[in-house]
């Protein structure tokens, strides 16, 4: 299924879930309130708020360091990362389509749930049946290249590396070219890339995909001599995937695992600085470049699931999987 077709299900009704549009409006309102509060503070107050923010980010990074599983241990870390489990496969995972990836996620969730539910009952004194019935795990963290593979976001090198005037444009260095070169490059490259479908892409979206484009990819014949593009609109992808995987888990278990919602996080391990610059975050104290990785998107389907938790869980996933495809 091509990406544009997949995202048509973004605001479809069902599961008593608020639409992505409604969720975004709520988030935007909260962000605006926070920015207004920051702007009203004096210099000392702003400095204190920024220091508090940095401390919270650092706390998540420290918790992520202790959160990765050690040997055969089941519980590690704290709170949201106390039960963080890698998905392990005895043979390469086939995800030539997003539907295959969704099936693999749902099957892995169920398998790990059934494997570890008895251990959770034995380890915790309190009654944990409500937790177990709702599903042991709050979310799933996925590397961006897996999403790229599922949507076949790959192009031949000559389609994205070509001359514009006197410049041989390397998309990894797109922010270093003059504005008119970037604009002309966009007008040409958008005609050569068809793997996203008809989505009315903005220049910033195309550039954000290309600067994270990567020659590292699965050792499969279909990807020979091709470059992986990074997924775009990852919040939207995660929102649709969260709804669909949740439904799959409930259907496959006949509601034995009556999962209420699922957090899907998509991350990339590339350096964040160019990406940060491209999205206009430079010189904005409220938009810091976080070390370690880039959280490209999150489903946001759990109101209490703070974005810092998504950052921590992504760092743990990176450590567990060693960025492996």
Successive 10-residue mean pLDDT values, the chain, 325 residues: 86 56 78 90 93 90 85 78 83 87 95 93 91 91 91 90 92 88 94 87 90 72 81 91 94 94 86 76 78 83 68 87 61
Cα distances (Å, whole numbers) of residue 283 to 4, 42, 96, 246: 33, 19, 40, 39
pLDDT digits 0-9 by tens, 246-292: 999 999 999 999 998 888 999 988 667 777 878 778 777 777 777 77
For residue 245, the number of C-alpha atoms closer than 13 Å in the C-beta half-sphere is 30
DSSP state of 78: S
Looking at residue 216, its pLDDT comes to 66
CA angle, residues 59, 62, 66, in degrees to nearest 5: 135
**Quick check: 159 and 188 in contact, CB under 8 A?**
no
Distance CA 102, CA 84 (A): 19
DSSP state of 257: S
Backbone angles phi, psi at 282, to 5 degrees: -65, 140
- Residue 303: how many CB atoms within 10 A of its CB? 10
Supply the DSSP string of 177-194, one letter for each residue.
S-HHHHHHHHHHHHHH--
**Quick check: 301 and 242 in contact, CB under 8 A?**
yes
Q: Is 86 helix (H, G, I), strand (E, B) or coil?
A: coil
**Quick check: 140 and 263 in contact, CB under 8 A?**
yes
Looking at residue 310, its pLDDT comes to 86
**Quick check: 59 and 73 in contact, CB under 8 A?**
no
Looking at residue 78, its pLDDT comes to 75
Looking at residue 18, its pLDDT comes to 55
Looking at residue 184, its pLDDT comes to 95
DSSP state of 4: H
**Quick check: 239 and 300 in contact, CB under 8 A?**
yes
CA angle, residues 131, 132, 137, in degrees to nearest 5: 80
Distance CA 12, CA 32 (A): 27
| Structure-block tokens of residue 222 | 């279909």
Distance CA 1, CA 152 (A): 9
Looking at residue 47, its pLDDT comes to 92
| Structure-block tokens of residue 305 | 């699931």
> What is the pTM (predicted TM-score) of this model?
0.88
| Structure-block tokens of residue 141 | 């963290």
For residue 73, list its beta bridge partners: none
Tokens 């104290």 belong to residue: 285
């Amino acid at each position: 299924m091509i990406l544009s077709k997949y995202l048509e299900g973004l605001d479809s009704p069902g599961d008593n879930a608020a639409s992505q549009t409604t969720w975004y409006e709520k988030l935007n309102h909260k962000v605006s309130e926070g920015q207004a509060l920051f702007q009203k503070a004096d210099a000392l107050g702003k400095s204190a708020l920024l220091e508090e923010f940095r401390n919270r980010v650092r706390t998540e990074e420290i918790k992520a360091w202790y959160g990765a599983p050690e040997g055969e241990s089941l519980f590690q870390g704290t709170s949201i990362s106390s039960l963080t489990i890698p998905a392990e496969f005895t043979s390469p995972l086939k995800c030539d389509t997003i539907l295959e990836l969704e099936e693999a996620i749902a099957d892995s969730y169920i398998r790990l749930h059934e494997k570890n539910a008895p251990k959770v009952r034995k380890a915790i004194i309190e009654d944990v049946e409500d937790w177990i019935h709702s599903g042991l795990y709050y979310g799933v963290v996925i590397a961006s290249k897996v999403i790229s593979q599922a949507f076949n976001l790959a192009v031949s090198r000559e389609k994205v590396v070509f001359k514009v005037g006197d410049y041989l444009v390397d998309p990894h260095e797109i922010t270093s070219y003059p504005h008119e070169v970037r604009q002309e490059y966009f007008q040409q490259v958008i005609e050569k890339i068809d793997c996203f479908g008809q989505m009315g892409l903005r220049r910033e979206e195309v550039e954000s995909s290309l600067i994270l484009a990567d020659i590292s990819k699965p050792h499969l014949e279909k990807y020979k001599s091709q470059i992986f593009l990074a997924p775009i609109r990852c919040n939207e992808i995660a929102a649709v995937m969260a709804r669909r995987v949740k439904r799959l888990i409930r259907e496959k278990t006949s509601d034995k695992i009556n999962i209420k919602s699922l957090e899907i996080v998509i991350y990339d391990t590339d350096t964040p600085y160019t990406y940060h610059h491209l999205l206009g975050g430079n010189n904005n104290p409220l938009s810091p470049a976080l070390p370690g990785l880039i959280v490209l998107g999150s489903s946001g389907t759990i109101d209490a699931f703070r974005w810092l938790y998504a950052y921590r869980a992504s760092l743990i996933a990176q450590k567990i999987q060693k960025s492996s495809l």
